[in-house]
Amino acid sequence: MPRDFKIYYSEKIADEVSEHVERFLSDTYQMQFRSVGVRIPRQTAWNTERNAFDAQLLLNNAQSEGLSFFLWLIEQALIVDNKYVFGYGETIKGTIVSTARMATRTLTAKEVAFHVGIVLGLKPCDGDCLMKKTDSFEVLIQKPSTLCNTCTAKFQRVKMRYI
């Protein structure tokens, strides 16, 4: 696990959103998150039929460039297996989250924290938890902004093992 987790964003992400997300992540995971700048998505990952980026392809492109333990905020829609998603992440690799369907920066921060949790080794949780899988906007609104006790304990064990 890295000493700091890098945050990239596309050029149209407002500073207030990226700063709020960075603070939320630091508070949630008690580790260093660092904005490192603008990253432009490769157009080869654009799906013209769905008017969205293929999140898996973007993640694979970033990983092939040597990136790991990163968050990438983009304003365009994302798809995985031709279905719209809020974000996509893989353990140890990184995560990409779209702000396209987010109504507030708090909702953005909750969804980002879920996907960062995946990168950091947490699994989706069935409880009343930030790690509850978000399959609809209603679930995103209703889920809490904190980890449940079980996920907190799991994350502390992961942190102790790797830091």
CATH code (residue 105) = 3.40.390.10
User: Across the chain, which distance is largest between two alpha carbons, in Å?
Assistant: 45
Rounded to two decimals, the pTM is 0.94
Has residue 161 got a pLDDT over 80?
no
Domain count, the chain: 1
Write down the number of H helices and E strands in the chain: 5, 9
Continuous H helices in the chain: 15-29, 55-64, 105-119, 137-142, 149-162
Query: How many CB atoms sit inside 10 A of residue 101's CB?
Result: 15
Has residue 162 got a pLDDT over 90?
no
Average predicted confidence (pLDDT) for the chain: 93
Has residue 163 got a pLDDT over 70?
no
- Give residue 154's domain range: 4-162
**What percent of the chain shows pLDDT beyond 90?**
85
Using alpha carbons, select from 85, 153, 157 the residue that is nearest to residue 125. Answer: 153
Provide mean pLDDT across the span 8-32. Answer: 93
Residue-wise pLDDT for 92-144, tens only, equals 999 999 999 898 999 999 999 999 999 999 999 999 999 999 888 899 999 99
Q: Are strands 4-9 and 32-38 parallel, antiparallel or unpaired?
A: parallel
Using alpha carbons, select from 94, 95, 99 the residue that is nearest to residue 109. Answer: 99
Distance, in Å, from the CA atom of 95 to the CA atom of 158, rounded to the nearest integer, reads: 18
Distance, in Å, from the CA atom of 68 to the CA atom of 6, rounded to the nearest integer, reads: 9
